[in-house]
């Protein structure tokens, strides 16, 4: 068997804005400002923490990385042999460098791409390789809304090591989220779903007593989809607004509908009625019909409304009615919230208050978990 | 406060000095402080109406043995009862192994601490696989009836269909157990239809089967041998019909017959199941029942098993055997309600015991014991049928049990058996109530533990009773 | 006094026999035991017997079972026994949620050796099994006292089976009241997974409550979960974290007010024997694991018995037969038209019931309380010490007392060293201890380990256990790879995980192992 290949990409400037209160590091001007404010790069240190679990593997794996601060320097520092791709000119690194590195690592058929950065870095990786190879994020940025990151840098290393040591590796799609940094700095939060990456099943929650039993939320997802489809069949005349995310995408796949990952699709009579609809279109569809909203919890933060699905506006929500909201998520995702409630931030405080309380989340076939909703 | 004068041989820290020392380490004096999180109104107050403890071991033994001595048992009384719990020969080595403290008091620990247990259980599955000529075996069902129920539910999952066809000659307790697993909340989860049959032979009515089989049928169940003892001689044809409609062919069998009887897969079964109580386990008033399910190695089937499956795997030491839980997510330990069905503690000690039994008997022993059973039961049936007023209910060949009809004697089974009991004989199970169409009939069970003289004694006694 | 060793840790090495698979011991023609054959006169009368089987149902080739002499078989199994660490061998503090209690030998010997039990057929006439019926009847009365409920059934073959039976009773109860539309049950994530899986098997939808910051599900969540669809609640208390839910009676009231029933999984009853009961909390149904709380051994994972308790209102739905007594004679009563029928053949696992009967009889009320007190004392002592081991944290319920078990976390150890709970668990076998229980899935407490030092273990046993955990934590900080590659002193070495679920390699039986070419791979190294 060939040695497993690990790709490593560090966004050296990730996280640089955080400590100096800049809410992100996207764009050259912010970067300059951060440097002026005395920010020091954190990403390499975070990546080093993750690699601690990998170093003992020695030459049992092959490491592929990008020159200088994007990986090669750190490998040298840790005494890890690595093969370095050709790229990176002078001057500060940019998103384009991350994308070039990720593409090269994909082309070299790496088994796993470990990147250190934040949501912006995740977006770059997503743009470059999508779900084509397994990817895992080492949290090193200011914004960590995406569900592609391990809980801590050390966990990322442990998950990566386990993944590389297995022969039958399992992945699941996970959402890449980001917020508009300009808006964020001005006090408005405007999050979007940008796509999905393919991440290793998280063994820290799942492996346990099975000792070698492969994990699998696949069963959970299948069960979730079956339950939602059953509920849709129970009211075939209803209009269904299906929100963004990988879980809801699986529902559309089961229905044989080619929907969007990022947008809100309208399904009526078992067919796609409006793809990637905007608020106005949604309002038209629900105006005089019995309607339902099917959404999932996007990203790692537990947002229900107001992040990545703003098309489902307060007006749409009021028209559909809070009793007609179906929420789906895997149990692992809910437990990953660590006891925090689900969030709503529709922009309509009165509506947010109505949505507060407890909601049933579909977590498997005919099984539900009760979750608290907060603002 | 507990009575300070009492001693507890099984509770080391009940010793006053030790208890005080441990409490002191926690900064406590009153042990009841430990229960402070239980609100006062939820505490039990007063004294439970339990008997004064039997203080010493000898008195306890006297008391319990005194109760057990009130029972009669099959060592003193000639026993023809079976009906799913037959009296078979138990080799001494079986009792020796299952009495070993290491295995008796082990539990769910994994292979590093309990490697030997895992190997014993793996060998059990392997022996059953040889006996059944199938690749995958689970032995952790509560009894043969649950094995049938789970086999049928596996069939519904494999086929995505919701109807099963079962014989009318199932024992009533088996049918009740199956029904409990098929019922649902409101509507049934699985529709159970009972197949028509021929009262003269007990065999399934093939034309009724053909009528009921359709694209909704998940499984056809056959018992071979049946609860009423006979072989379902049309099994090959039934299996063919079932498979033609895409249904699973589920056969419940008696493993002790399989040295002489073909394993179900040879006549088309896709899922085999049954109860392995006959393999080296004492009667224990029904406490030794244990079910198994077997299929071939196709992953479509393997992934539908509900209980733990133990797989042989290598360790990091070349040439060393290790074990692991295979496909753990199938089980409810792995994925709660999303699992196939619930699982839990069942009968591993009996699985180990049956493994010992099959190793002891080997291929020759299994052949011989099957033959002995058939010879003895045929001898007994022949002798009984020759009595005036007594006939066999079915002309169909049988394994160890057969139905004897007393209608022509003008006597009730209950009455005849009461008389036999006075002669030190447990007559067979009275099935007149369970199957009214059989008239006054009893199900007699004859195994290798029966000697010719025993059967002659039964015949003598019956002769007296019936004349 | 315990022997003082120079090194506080035991220098242990488990038996490592490198024992063959029994198939590798097979020598054609060898026999392990001879079986009875029919007498000559019988053979003369009936012939070979097997010709009666139709041709297509006759076995053609004998089964390929091993052929081994009796001495070698006995040695084989004696060796496998030595490679097994039962509770007789080691303080089984590890297997929490399962109360690994000492099983007194006297009751084992009676149950395994007295023909008045071992050779009794379950369908014998009632007057010939009066002794057994008396034991079952009296045990039922004992458990009614201990739980405060009114009736018990001994049919379920284990705890999970009892939960299934409880779900079947709920199903029958609501159907009898014309409320078959109640199709949802509620449980909590820290209740044993069977509380979700068994009702699901009975056809119920399952709603799970997550813990709040105190580690118990909040009452508001329960209130939001109940409706006219609620059939019932399935809950453990104390939960598997060892935390007692002090509002349990309020939970029950909420469910009752919605028209549902409440079933109490008393797998953790060892904490509350003689201290608190199902009745005072308002439960309608409960079950005890007689093979845990009431001392019957686990038998490598059964036979077991989940004794099922019910209030008088639910008695009509209990499995048949029921045992009755007219003051003198005991009898079996099958006539209960509303009964769910049966969940297991015959009378259930009678030997297990006998052991529980004997254990209760030896302890009496005071003894039961003493067992609970000592088990909770042991757990509190252990908790206090284990919390000081580097790398251990204790999520939830800070400052509160837990009862008979505790779910700890090695998350800090994992973050600090990369050594997780699965690694520690493997290493622990090197010290002659059973693996500990991590947690059921999914893991809510990260890197969990759950310990239950019930009343059977002495202070010295606990100190030894604590010493072993401390030693492993120290090793993890000094040399994580060493712990990751454990075990070293076990019967076998580490099992790499990658082949376990590989369809091309799965070998559940020896014949499958041979078919998949494992043997060749092994010899090739």
CATH of the domain at B100: 3.40.640.10
Least confident span in B139-153, B299-313, C403-417: B299-313
pLDDT exceeds cutoff 70 at A25: no
Q: Is residue B144 part of a domain?
A: yes
Inter-chain touch A223–B325, beta carbons under 8 Å? no
Is residue A252 within 8 Å of B364, Cβ to Cβ?
no
> Percent of chain A at pLDDT above 70?
83
Q: With H, G, I as helix, E, B as strand and everything else as coil, classify residue A124.
A: helix
Both structure tokens of B1: 């406060």
Q: What is the pLDDT of residue A210?
A: 25
Asked if B252 and B375 sit in the same domain, the reply is no
Cα separation, A44 vs B247, in Å, equals 60
- Kindly provide the b/e burial profile for residues A126-150, where b requires at least 16 CB atoms within 10 angstroms of the residue's own CB: bbbbbbebbbbbbbbbbbbbbbbbb
User: Going by CATH, does the domain composed of C110-362 fall within 2.60.120.510?
Assistant: no
Q: What is the pLDDT of residue A38?
A: 59
Contacts B–C by Cβ distance under 8 A: 746
**All partners of chain A with 3 or more CB pairs under 8 angstroms:** B, C
Binned at pLDDT 50, 70 and 90, residue C4 comes out as low
Asked if B98 and B46 sit in the same domain, the reply is no
CA A202 to chain centre: 13
Which residues contact residue B462 at a Cβ distance below 8 angstroms, ignoring those fewer than 6 apart? B384, B387, B390, B416, B420
From the list C206, C441, C495, the residue facing A208 with the nearest CB is C441
For chain B, say whether A209 makes contact (Cβ under 8 Å): yes
Asked if B278 and B405 sit in the same domain, the reply is no
Residues of A in contact with B338 (CB under 8 A): 219-220, 223, 364-365, 367
Cα separation, C374 vs A358, in Å, equals 40
pLDDT tens per residue across span B126-137: 999 999 999 999
Greatest C-alpha distance within chain C: 82
Average confidence (pLDDT) over A311-340: 89
Nearest to C360 by CA among C290, C302, C452: C290
**All partners of chain B with 3 or more CB pairs under 8 angstroms:** A, C
Of B320-324, B335-339, C173-177, which has the strongest mean pLDDT?
Answer: C173-177
Domain locations along chain C: 22-82, 110-362, 495-525
CA distance A144 to chain C (A): 19
Cα separation, B20 vs C52, in Å, equals 74
Cα separation, C295 vs C201, in Å, equals 29
Asked if B121 and B234 sit in the same domain, the reply is yes
Q: Which A residues, 57 through 76, put their C-beta within 8 Å of a C-beta on chain B? A: none
DSSP state for residue C52 in the 8-state scheme: G
Assign residue C432 a region: left if phi > 0, alpha if psi is -120 to 50, beta otherwise?
left
pLDDT exceeds cutoff 70 at A21: no
Q: Rounded to 5, what percent of chain B is helix, strand, coil?
A: 45, 15, 40
**Residue tagged 């493994």 (tokens):** B355
Residues of C in contact with B107 (CB under 8 A): 86-87, 92, 95, 98, 100, 298, 300-301, 434
Q: Is residue B83 part of a domain?
A: yes
Average confidence (pLDDT) over A171-192: 70
Inter-chain touch C231–B23, beta carbons under 8 Å? no
Q: Is residue B4 part of a domain?
A: no
Inter-chain touch C207–A367, beta carbons under 8 Å? yes
Residues of B in contact with A369 (CB under 8 A): none
> Could you give the count of Cα atoms lying within 13 Å of B188 in the half-sphere of its Cβ?
16
Asked if B134 and B254 sit in the same domain, the reply is yes
From the list A211, A213, A223, the residue facing B327 with the nearest CB is A213
Gyration radius of chain A's alpha carbons:
21
Greater pLDDT, A248 or B91: B91
Average confidence (pLDDT) over C126-150: 98
Question: How many distinct structural domains can be found in chain B?
Answer: 3
Cα separation, B336 vs C197, in Å, equals 5
Angle at B48 between CA B47 and CA B52, to 5 degrees: 95
Gyration radius of chain B's alpha carbons:
26
Q: Which residues pair with B391 in a beta bridge?
A: B405
> Could you give the count of Cα atoms lying within 13 Å of A116 in the half-sphere of its Cβ?
32
Average confidence (pLDDT) over A259-283: 92
**All partners of chain C with 3 or more CB pairs under 8 angstroms:** A, B
Domain enclosing residue B462, as ranges: 78-87+369-466
Nearest to A267 by CA among A240, A245, A289, A243: A240
- The alpha carbon torsion through C482, C483, C486, C490 (nearest 10 deg) reads 110
Chain B's closest residue to A332, CA to CA, is B335
Q: With H, G, I as helix, E, B as strand and everything else as coil, classify residue C318.
A: coil
> Could you give the count of Cα atoms lying within 13 Å of C316 in the half-sphere of its Cβ?
9
> H/E/C letters for each residue in C177-191?
CCCCCCCEEEEECCC
Cα separation, B391 vs B464, in Å, equals 17
Nearest to C468 by CA among C422, C414, C423, C424: C424
For chain C, say whether B298 makes contact (Cβ under 8 Å): no
Asked if B403 and B429 sit in the same domain, the reply is yes
Alpha-carbon separation of residue C402 from B11, C11, C236, C239, C449 (angstroms): 20, 33, 14, 10, 15
Residues of C in contact with A367 (CB under 8 A): 196, 200, 205-208
pLDDT tens per residue across span C453-475: 999 999 999 999 999 999 999 99
> Percent of chain A at pLDDT above 90?
47
- Kindly provide the b/e burial profile for residues B14-40, where b requires at least 16 CB atoms within 10 angstroms of the residue's own CB: beeebbeebbeebebeebeebbeebee
Which residues contact residue A360 at a Cβ distance below 8 angstroms, ignoring those fewer than 6 apart? A327, A368, A369, A370, A371, C207, C225
Q: What is the pLDDT of residue B4?
A: 52
Both structure tokens of B5: 């004068």
* Length of chain A in terms of residues written: 375
**Residue tagged 């200088």 (tokens):** A68
Kind plus residue range of the DSSP H or E element containing A171 = strand A171-179
pLDDT tens per residue across span A249-259: 889 999 999 88
> Percent of chain B at pLDDT above 90?
88
Q: Is residue B253 part of a domain?
A: yes
Cα separation, B432 vs B429, in Å, equals 9
Q: What is the pLDDT of residue A36?
A: 64
Cα separation, B296 vs B249, in Å, equals 13
Asked if B208 and B222 sit in the same domain, the reply is yes
Contacts A–C by Cβ distance under 8 A: 120
Sheet containing B429-430, strands listed edge to edge, beginning at the edge strand earlier in sequence: B391-392, B401-405, B441-445, B429-430
The ipTM assigned to this model is 0.96
Inter-chain touch C443–A205, beta carbons under 8 Å? yes
Cα separation, A34 vs A31, in Å, equals 5
pLDDT exceeds cutoff 80 at B336: no
Q: What is the pLDDT of residue A213?
A: 24
First to last CA, chain B: 69
Q: What is the pLDDT of residue A334?
A: 86
Q: What is the pLDDT of residue B19?
A: 96
Is residue B7 within 8 Å of B19, Cβ to Cβ?
no
Chain A's closest residue to B331, CA to CA, is A210
Which residues contact residue A290 at a Cβ distance below 8 angstroms, ignoring those fewer than 6 apart? A235, A237, A238, A239, A324
Binned at pLDDT 50, 70 and 90, residue C255 comes out as very high
Which residues contact residue A184 at a Cβ distance below 8 angstroms, ignoring those fewer than 6 apart? A23, A24, A143, A190
Asked if B337 and B457 sit in the same domain, the reply is no
Nearest to C226 by CA among C247, C204, C251: C251
Nearest to B100 by CA among C299, C130, C501, A174: C299
Both structure tokens of C60: 């053609």
* Length of chain B in terms of residues written: 467
Asked if B213 and B302 sit in the same domain, the reply is yes
Asked if B418 and B391 sit in the same domain, the reply is yes
pLDDT tens per residue across span B374-404: 999 999 999 999 999 999 999 999 999 999 9
pLDDT tens per residue across span C283-340: 999 999 999 999 999 999 999 999 999 999 999 999 999 999 999 999 999 999 999 9
Greatest C-alpha distance within chain B: 84
pLDDT exceeds cutoff 70 at B3: no
Q: Which residues pair with B426 in a beta bridge?
A: B79
CATH code for the domain of B411: 3.90.1150.10
Greatest C-alpha distance within chain A: 67
CA B306 to chain centre: 17
Cα separation, C232 vs B289, in Å, equals 31
Asked if B83 and B100 sit in the same domain, the reply is no
Q: What is the pLDDT of residue A13?
A: 86
pLDDT tens per residue across span C438-448: 888 788 899 99
Nearest to A270 by CA among A228, A237, A225, A248: A237
From the list A210, A214, A364, the residue facing B338 with the nearest CB is A364
Residues of A in contact with B335 (CB under 8 A): 219-220, 364
- The alpha carbon torsion through B297, B302, B305, B310 (nearest 10 deg) reads 70
Inter-chain touch A212–C210, beta carbons under 8 Å? no
Angle at B349 between CA B359 and CA B358, to 5 degrees: 15
Is residue A110 within 8 Å of A175, Cβ to Cβ?
no
Chain A's closest residue to C220, CA to CA, is A358
């Amino acid at each position: 068997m060939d040695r497993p290949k690990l790709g490593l990409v560090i966004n050296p400037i990730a996280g640089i804005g955080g400590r100096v209160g800049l809410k992100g590091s996207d764009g050259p001007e912010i970067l300059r400002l951060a440097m002026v404010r005395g920010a020091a790069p954190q990403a390499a240190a975070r990546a080093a923490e993750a690699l601690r679990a990998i170093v003992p593997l020695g030459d049992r794996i092959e490491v592929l990385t990008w020159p200088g601060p994007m990986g090669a320097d750190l490998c040298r520092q840790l005494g890890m042999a690595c093969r370095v791709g050709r790229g990176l000119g002078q001057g500060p690194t940019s998103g384009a460098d991350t994308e070039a590195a990720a593409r090269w690592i994909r082309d070299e058929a790496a088994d796993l791409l470990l990147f250190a950065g934040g949501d912006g870095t995740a977006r770059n990786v997503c743009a470059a390789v999508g779900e084509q190879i397994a990817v895992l994020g080492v949290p090193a940025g200011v914004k960590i809304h995406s569900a592609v990151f391990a809980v801590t840098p050390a966990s990322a290393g442990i998950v990566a090591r386990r993944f590389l040591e297995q022969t039958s590796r399992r992945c699941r799609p996970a959402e890449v989220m980001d917020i508009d940094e300009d808006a964020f700095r001005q006090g408005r939060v405007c999050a979007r779903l940008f796509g999905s990456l393919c991440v290793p099943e998280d063994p820290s929650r799942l492996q346990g007593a099975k000792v070698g039993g492969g994990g699998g939320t696949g069963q959970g997802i299948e069960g979730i989809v079956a339950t939602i489809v059953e509920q849709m069949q129970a009211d075939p005349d209803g209009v269904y607004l299906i929100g963004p995310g990988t879980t809801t995408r699986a529902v559309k796949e089961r229905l044989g509908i080619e929907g969007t990952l990022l947008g809100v699709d309208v399904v009526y009579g078992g067919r796609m009625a409006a793809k990637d609809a905007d608020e106005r279109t949604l309002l038209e569809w629900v105006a005089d019909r019995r309607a339902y909203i099917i959404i999932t919890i996007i990203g790692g933060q537990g947002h229900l409304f107001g992040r990545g699905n703003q098309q489902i506006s307060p007006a749409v929500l009021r028209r559909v009615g809070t009793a007609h909201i179906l929420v789906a998520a895997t149990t692992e995702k809910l437990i990953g919230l660590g006891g925090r409630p689900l969030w709503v931030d529709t922009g309509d405080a009165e509506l947010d208050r109505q949505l507060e309380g407890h909601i049933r989340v579909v977590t498997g076939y005919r099984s539900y978990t009760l979750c608290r909703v907060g603002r | 406060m507990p009575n300070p004068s009492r001693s507890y041989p099984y509770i080391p820290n009940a010793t006053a000095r030790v208890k005080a020392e441990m409490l002191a380490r926690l900064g406590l004096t009153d042990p009841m402080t430990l229960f402070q999180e239980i609100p006062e109104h939820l505490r039990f107050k007063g004294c439970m109406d339990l008997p004064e403890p039997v203080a010493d071991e000898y008195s306890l033994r006297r008391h319990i043995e005194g109760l057990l001595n009130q029972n009669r048992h099959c060592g003193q009384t000639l026993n023809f009862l079976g009906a799913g719990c037959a009296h078979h020969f138990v080799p001494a080595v079986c009792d020796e192994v299952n009495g070993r403290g290491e295995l008796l008091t082990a539990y769910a620990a994994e292979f590093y601490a309990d490697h030997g247990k895992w190997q014993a259980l793996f060998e059990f599955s392997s022996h059953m696989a040889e006996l059944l000529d199938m690749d995958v075996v689970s032995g952790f069902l509560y009894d043969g009836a649950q094995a049938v129920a789970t086999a049928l539910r596996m069939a519904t999952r494999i086929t995505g269909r919701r109807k099963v066809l079962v014989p009318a000659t199932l024992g009533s307790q088996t049918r009740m157990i199956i029904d409990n697993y098929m019922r649902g909340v409101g509507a049934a989860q699985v529709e159970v239809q009972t197949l028509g049959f021929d009262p003269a032979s007990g065999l399934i009515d093939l034309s009724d089967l053909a009528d009921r089989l359709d694209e909704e049928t998940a499984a056809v169940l056959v018992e071979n041998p049946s609860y009423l003892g006979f072989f379902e001689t049309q099994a090959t044809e039934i299996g063919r019909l079932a498979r033609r409609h895409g249904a699973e062919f589920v056969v419940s069998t008696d493993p002790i017959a399989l040295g002489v009887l073909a394993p179900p897969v040879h006549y088309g079964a896709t899922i085999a199941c049954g109860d392995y109580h006959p393999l080296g386990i004492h009667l224990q008033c029904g406490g030794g029942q244990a079910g198994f399910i077997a299929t071939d190695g196709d992953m479509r089937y393997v992934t539908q098993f509900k209980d733990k499956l133990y797989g042989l795997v290598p360790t990091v030491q070349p040439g060393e055997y290790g074990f692991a839980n295979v496909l753990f997510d199938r089980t409810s330990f792995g994925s709660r309600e999303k699992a196939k069905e619930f699982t839990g503690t069942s009968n591993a000690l009996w699985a180990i015991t049956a493994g010992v039994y099959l190793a002891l008997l080997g291929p020759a022993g299994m052949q011989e014991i099957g033959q002995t059973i058939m010879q003895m039961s045929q001898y007994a049936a022949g002798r009984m049928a020759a009595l005036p007023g007594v006939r066999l209910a079915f002309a169909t060949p049988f394994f160890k049990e057969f139905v004897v009809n007393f209608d022509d004697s003008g006597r009730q089974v209950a009455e005849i058996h009461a008389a036999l009991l006075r002669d030190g004989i447990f007559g067979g199970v009275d099935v007149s109530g369970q199957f009214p169409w059989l008239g006054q009939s009893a199900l007699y069970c004859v195994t290798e533990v029966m000697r010719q003289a025993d059967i002659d004694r039964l015949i003598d006694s019956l002769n007296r009773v019936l004349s | 006094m315990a022997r003082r060793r120079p090194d506080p840790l035991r220098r242990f090495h488990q038996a490592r026999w490198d024992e063959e698979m029994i198939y590798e011991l097979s020598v054609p023609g060898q026999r392990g035991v001879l079986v009875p054959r029919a007498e000559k006169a019988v053979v003369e009368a009936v012939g070979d017997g097997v010709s009666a089987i139709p041709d297509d149902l006759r076995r053609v080739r004998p089964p390929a079972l091993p052929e081994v002499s009796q001495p070698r078989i006995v040695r084989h199994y004696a060796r496998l026994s030595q490679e097994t660490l039962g509770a007789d061998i080691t303080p089984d503090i590890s297997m929490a949620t399962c109360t690994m209690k000492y099983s007194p030998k006297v009751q084992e010997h009676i149950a395994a050796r007295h023909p008045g039990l071992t050779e009794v057929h379950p369908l014998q006439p009632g007057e010939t099994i009066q002794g057994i019926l008396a034991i079952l009847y009296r045990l039922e009365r004992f458990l009614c006292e201990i739980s405060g409920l009114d009736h018990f059934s001994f049919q379920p073959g284990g705890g999970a089976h009892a939960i299934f039976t409880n779900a079947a009773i709920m199903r029958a109860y609501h159907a009898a009241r014309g409320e078959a539309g109640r199709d949802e049950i509620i449980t909590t994530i820290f209740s044993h997974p069977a509380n979700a899986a068994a009702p699901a098997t009975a056809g119920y939808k399952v709603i799970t409550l997550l813990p709040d910051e105190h580690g118990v599900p909040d009452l508001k969540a329960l209130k939001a979960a109940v409706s006219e669809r609620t059939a019932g609640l399935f809950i453990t208390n104390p939960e598997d974290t060892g935390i007692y839910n002090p509002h349990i009676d309020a939970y029950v009231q909420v469910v009752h007010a919605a028209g549902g029933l409440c079933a109490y999984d008393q797998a953790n009853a060892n904490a509350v024997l003689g201290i608190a009961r199902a009745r005072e909390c308002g439960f309608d149904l409960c079950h005890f694991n007689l093979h845990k709380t009431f001392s019957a051994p686990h038998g490598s994972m059964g036979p077991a018995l989940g004794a099922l308790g019910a209030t008088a209102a639910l008695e009509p739905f209990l499995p048949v037969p029921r045992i009755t007594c007219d003051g003198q004679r005991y009898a079996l009563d099958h006539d209960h038209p509303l009964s769910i029928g049966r969940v297991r053949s015959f009378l259930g696992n009678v030997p297990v019931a006998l052991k529980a009967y004997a254990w209760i009889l030896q302890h009496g009320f005071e003894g039961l309380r003493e067992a609970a007190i000592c088990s909770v004392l042991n757990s509190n002592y252990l908790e206090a010490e284990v919390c000081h081991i580097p790398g251990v944290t204790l999520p939830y319920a800070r400052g509160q007392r837990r009862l008979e078990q505790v779910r700890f976390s090695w998350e800090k150890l994992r973050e600090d060293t990369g050594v997780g709970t699965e690694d520690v668990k493997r290493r622990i076998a090197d010290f002659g201890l059973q693996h500990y229980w991590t947690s059921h899935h999914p893991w809510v407490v990260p890197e969990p380990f759950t310990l239950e030092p019930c009343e059977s273990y002495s202070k010295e046993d606990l100190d030894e256990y604590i010493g072993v955990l401390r030693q492993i934590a120290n090793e993890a900080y000094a040399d994580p790879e060493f712990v990751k590659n454990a075990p070293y002193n076990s019967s076998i070495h580490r099992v790499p995980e990658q082949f376990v679920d590989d369809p091309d390699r799965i070998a559940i039986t020896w014949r499958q192992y041979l078919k998949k070419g494992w043997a060749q791979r092994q010899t090739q190294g």
